[in-house]
Structure 1
Amino acid sequence: MSTTVRGAVASEADRAAFRAGPVDEQSRARLAESGLDYRRTTVDGDDFAPWLQSVARGFQDGERTAEHVAAARARSGYRRLTGVYDPAAPVSEAPVATIASWLGELTVPGHAAVPACAISAVTVAPTHRRRGIARAMLEGELRAAADAGIPVAMLTVSESTLYGRYGFAPAAASASWRIETRRATWIGPRPDGRVDFIARETLRELAPGLHERVRLSAAGEIDVPGSHWDGFAGTTPTAEKAGDKRAIQYTDATGEVRGLALYTVKENHDDFTKATVRVVYLLADGDDAYAALWRFLLELDLVAEAHADELSVDEPLRWMIADQRAATVTVRDHQYVRILDVPAALEVRRFGAPGILALDVSDALGHAAGRYLLEVDADGAGRVRAAEGDLPAGAVEVSLGIEELSAVYLGGVSLATLAAAGRVRSEDPSAAARVLAWHRAPRLSIWY
Structure 2
Amino acid sequence: MPPAIRTLTSADELPEWLRALSVAFLRSPSVSDEEVAARAPFIEPARTQGAFDGGRCVGTFRTFSQEMTVPGGAALPSCAVTNVTVSPTHRRRSLLTRMMSGALAAAKERGDAFASLVSAEYPIYGRYGFGPAAWVAEWEVDVTRSGLDPRHSGPGDGGRVDIAEPEEIGRIGPALHERYRAQPHRQGVIDRPERWWRNLTGQLRYPGDEFTPPYHAVHRDERGEPQGFVSWTVHERWDGKLPQNRADVQYLTALTPAAERALWLFVLSIDWITRVRSGFRAPDDVLPLLLPDPRAAVLDTLADFLWLRPLDVPRMLEARGYPVEGALVLRLRDEAGLAGGSYRLEAGPDGATCKSTGESPDLTLDVAELGTIFLGDESAVRLASLGRAEEHREGAAESADLLFRTPRRAWCPDIF
**TM-score (normalised: structure 1):** 0.85
1:338 aligned partner: 309
Match of residue 253, structure 1, among 218, 222, 226:
222
Change (3 A) 1:249 1:362: same
1:139 aligned partner: 101
Conserved 8 A contact 1:104-1:116: yes
Shift of the alpha carbon at 1:243?
Answer: 5.1
Are 2:26 and 1:60 equivalent residues in the alignment?
Answer: yes
Deviations 1:31-51 (A, max 9, x none): xxx443222226x72111211
Shift of the alpha carbon at 1:114?
Answer: 1.0
- Within 5 Å, which residues of 2 pair with 1:286-325? 286-325=256-295
Match of residue 100, structure 1, among 62, 69, 91:
62
1:172 aligned partner: 134
Are 2:413 and 1:442 equivalent residues in the alignment?
Answer: no
Change (3 A) 1:191 1:235: farther
Are 2:199 and 1:228 equivalent residues in the alignment?
Answer: no
Deviations 1:20-77 (A, max 9, x none): xxxxxxxxxxxxxx443222226x7211121112111121111221111111123435
Are 2:119 and 1:157 equivalent residues in the alignment?
Answer: yes
Shift of the alpha carbon at 1:433?
Answer: 1.2
1:15 aligned partner: none
Conserved 8 A contact 1:196-1:248: yes
Change (3 A) 1:317 1:192: farther
Partner AA of 2:19 in structure 1: Q
- Within 5 Å, which residues of 2 pair with 1:281-430? 281-329=251-299, 330-377=301-348, 379=349, 381-389=351-359, 397-426=362-391, 427-428=394-395, 429-430=397-398
Distance (Å, rounded) in 2 between the aligned partners of 1:104 and 1:241:
26
Deviations 1:290-347 (A, max 9, x none): 1111110011111111102220111122332111111112311001001011111111
Conserved 8 A contact 1:353-1:380: no
Partner AA of 1:282 in structure 2: L
Distance (Å, rounded) in 2 between the aligned partners of 1:146 and 1:370:
15
**TM-score (normalised: structure 2):** 0.92
3-state SS, counterpart of residue 95 of structure 1: strand
Deviations 1:377-414 (A, max 9, x none): 3x25221112224x6xxxx8111111111100000111
Shift of the alpha carbon at 1:244?
Answer: 4.4
Distance (Å, rounded) in 1 between the aligned partners of 2:262 and 2:218:
10
Partner AA of 1:328 in structure 2: V
1:114 aligned partner: 76
Conserved 8 A contact 2:68-2:190: yes
Q: Which moved more, 1:316-325 or 1:187-196?
A: 187-196
Conserved 8 A contact 1:400-1:423: yes
Shift of the alpha carbon at 1:204?
Answer: 2.6
Partner AA of 1:49 in structure 2: P
> Tell me, which stretches of 5 or more residues in structure 2 are unaligned?
none
CA RMSD of superposed structures (Å)? 2.0
Distance (Å, rounded) in 2 between the aligned partners of 1:116 and 1:243:
30
1:148 aligned partner: 110
2:232 aligned partner: 263
Change (3 A) 1:139 1:248: same
Match of residue 5, structure 2, among 38, 60, 68:
38
Conserved 8 A contact 1:196-1:249: yes
Q: Which moved more, 1:312-321 or 1:101-110?
A: 312-321
Conserved 8 A contact 1:79-1:101: no
Conserved 8 A contact 1:246-1:262: yes
Distance (Å, rounded) in 2 between the aligned partners of 1:290 and 1:245:
19
Distance (Å, rounded) in 1 between the aligned partners of 2:211 and 2:2:
44
Conserved 8 A contact 2:288-2:295: no
User: Percent identity, aligned pairs only?
Assistant: 33
Conserved 8 A contact 2:324-2:402: yes
Distance (Å, rounded) in 2 between the aligned partners of 1:78 and 1:131:
24
3-state SS, counterpart of residue 46 of structure 1: helix
Shift of the alpha carbon at 1:174?
Answer: 0.6
> Tell me, which stretches of 5 or more residues in structure 1 are unaligned?
1-33
Equivalent residue pairs, number: 403
